[in-house]
Amino acid sequence: MRAHEAGALHGDIGSRGPAWLRPPADVNALVPQLWPGNTARGADGALTVAGLDVRDIAAEFGTPLYVLDEDDLRARCRAFRDAFSADDVYYAGKAFLCRAVVRMIAEEGLFLDVCSGGELAVALAAGMPPERIGFHGNNKSVAELSRALEAGVGRIIVDSFTELDRLTALARERGVRPGVLIRVTVGVEAHTHEFIATAHEDQKFGFSLAGGSALAAALRVLDEGVLELRGLHSHIGSQIFDTSGFEVSARRVLTLQAQIRDARGVQLPELDLGGGFGIAYTSQDDPAVPQDLADRLRKIVEFECAAERLAVPRLSVEPGRAIVGPAVFTLYEVGTVKDVDGIRTYVSVDGGMSDNIRTALYDASYSATLASRASAAGPLLARVVGKHCESGDIVVKDEFLPADVQPGDLVAVPGTGAYCRSMASNYNHVPRPGVVAVRNGRARLIVRPETEEDLLALDVG
Ligand SMILES: *Cc1c(COP(=O)(O)O)cnc(C)c1O
């Protein structure tokens, strides 16, 4: 599970790269866990996806471009669906949302989480059955809540007393009884290979467990009887590899569930453990398969329920990254290659922090490969950077590329399906890339690339 010390990932030691990074035996080899399932190298060495050559994709749609392996995405949905067959799997739409993806996840039997009016609009426009939508967010407006009630959204995850009042008033006004979960801040924070358990949490999401407001919120909903309290919700972080954080959070949230039972004699039927399941961004990451995750989470919940003498509630989980992240790679064209005084080679591509902010924002690590051809040249430690006016505009901090990488080559960066297009910006007035879905040798645009006309269309001054 844990192939390295997390700290080593960040150890930047110049031209040698981080300690874990070793020159590969074959610089053209694709590390299987990094790439969508239908990616390979074709007969002449260029990258192919679902039978299509990336050079043809780039020629037709341009670069930079997000390339989605549709069958890979669908397979990941099914893997979660099958692993959590007794439970509900909500795809966290904030990872990446467009109408085509909504239809794909719906067809594969998933539910959908949204966390803004805009995401709800996309879900409804794509025909997602409203009863299969969950609505998140720490500051849902009256307009957003009204829209959710009008649409008949399946459940609303309530985050504050202000929202509770707002939603209760709206539900009374309309004479409806929406299903709600209480978002509980359990004092567990999990990121990558570590988690921290604390007694209290200084963060904006949810009702505090330790401070008693989570219990107070649940009792208020039950006593008022306007909203239907379905259960409790906790989400402990992102890019999590170690399930012990879920163990602590499940224990804490089920203790609260037992307190609610003791106070009001009510057994809440549902429990949502959130998302955050990790994916592989580099050869160092080795994520658990959904079946193992499901087995572990179920065991944890069954154990804690037995301890509290609770019936096992219906579980739900909310994977975003683990569904869409590995199904997509970004295709870039190399513009310049610069050797900086023998310290490091900078390979500049035609996108950057506007299409992938995660490296700058989270110090995230990515991988890359030369995609338009195979090369017989030896490995060169490179840093893949973008075209923005910012020295922190790094896409891939350290990667071995063939030493003959040159302008005009295509470079592909895997694992960019989650939180890249959805967090994309127009910094430097660079148009945001489109998204192409590839399946059975055919590519179709599902999000059109922006144009300069799009940018100017908003500029009405
Ligand atoms: C972001 C988020 C998720 C999804 O997280 P991933 O890391 O993409 O799996 C799930 N639930 C909630 C409440 C979230 O905020």
Atom nearest to 233 CA in ligand 1: 13
Residue 183 inside a domain? The answer is: yes
Residue 299 pLDDT exceeds 90: yes
Residue 245 inside a domain? The answer is: yes
Binding residue ranges for substrate: 321, 358, 362, 390, 419
Q: What is the mean pLDDT of residues 78-97?
A: 98
Which pLDDT tens digit goes with each residue over 365-392?
999 999 999 999 999 999 999 999 999 9
274 within ligand 1 shell (Cβ under 6 A): yes
Residue 21 inside a domain? The answer is: no
Q: Which of 52-61, 189-198, 353-362 has the lowest mean pLDDT?
A: 189-198
Residue 356 inside a domain? The answer is: yes
Same domain, 201 and 226: yes
Same domain, 80 and 102: yes
Residue 367 inside a domain? The answer is: yes
| Protein residue closest via CA to atom 3 of ligand 1 | 275
| 118: number of Cβ within 10 Å | 11
Residue 88 pLDDT exceeds 90: yes
Q: Which residues are registered as beta bridge partners of 434?
A: 65
Same domain, 164 and 213: yes
Same domain, 161 and 274: yes
Of 274, 295, 324, the last residue of a domain is 324
Same domain, 37 and 113: no
Q: 389 an active-site residue?
A: yes
Q: What is the mean pLDDT of residues 131-149?
A: 98
| 269: number of Cβ within 10 Å | 12
Residue 12 inside a domain? The answer is: no
185 within ligand 1 shell (Cβ under 6 A): no
439 within ligand 1 shell (Cβ under 6 A): no
Same domain, 378 and 445: yes
| Protein residue closest via CA to atom 6 of ligand 1 | 276
- State percent of the chain over pLDDT 70: 96
Same domain, 93 and 104: yes
Quote the CA–CA distance of 234 and 247 in Å, as a whole number: 12
Give me ligand 1 centre to Cα 333, in Å: 31
Confidence bin at 216 (pLDDT 50/70/90): very high
Quote the CA–CA distance of 101 and 95 in Å, as a whole number: 11
Same domain, 320 and 421: no
Residue range(s) defining the domain that contains residue 255? 70-324
Give the residue carrying structure tokens 């999401």. 205
**Virtual CA dihedral for 217, 218, 224, 229, nearest 10 degrees?**
130
Which pLDDT tens digit goes with each residue over 381-431?
999 999 999 999 999 999 999 999 999 999 999 999 999 999 999 999 999
Residue 112 inside a domain? The answer is: yes
Confidence bin at 194 (pLDDT 50/70/90): confident
Same domain, 208 and 353: no
Q: Which residues are registered as beta bridge partners of 384?
A: 347, 396
Same domain, 128 and 110: yes
Binding residue ranges: 276, 318-321, 358, 362, 390, 419
Quote the CA–CA distance of 435 and 96 in Å, as a whole number: 11
Give me ligand 1 centre to Cα 318, in Å: 6
Atom nearest to 419 CA in ligand 1: 8
Residue 4 pLDDT exceeds 70: no
Q: What is the mean pLDDT of residues 309-333?
A: 98
The SS3 of residue 348 is: strand
Residue 180 inside a domain? The answer is: yes
Tell me how many domains the chain contains: 2
Same domain, 290 and 391: no
Of 324, 353, 380, the last residue of a domain is 324
pTM: 0.95
Of 274, 296, 324, the last residue of a domain is 324
Give me ligand 1 centre to Cα 210, in Å: 22
Atom nearest to 157 CA in ligand 1: 13
276 within ligand 1 shell (Cβ under 6 A): yes
Q: Which amino acid is at 138?
A: N
Which CATH number goes with the domain that contains 90? Answer: 3.20.20.10
Give me ligand 1 centre to Cα 21, in Å: 29
Same domain, 320 and 331: no
Which CATH number goes with the domain that contains 386? Answer: 2.40.37.10
Give me ligand 1 centre to Cα 144, in Å: 20
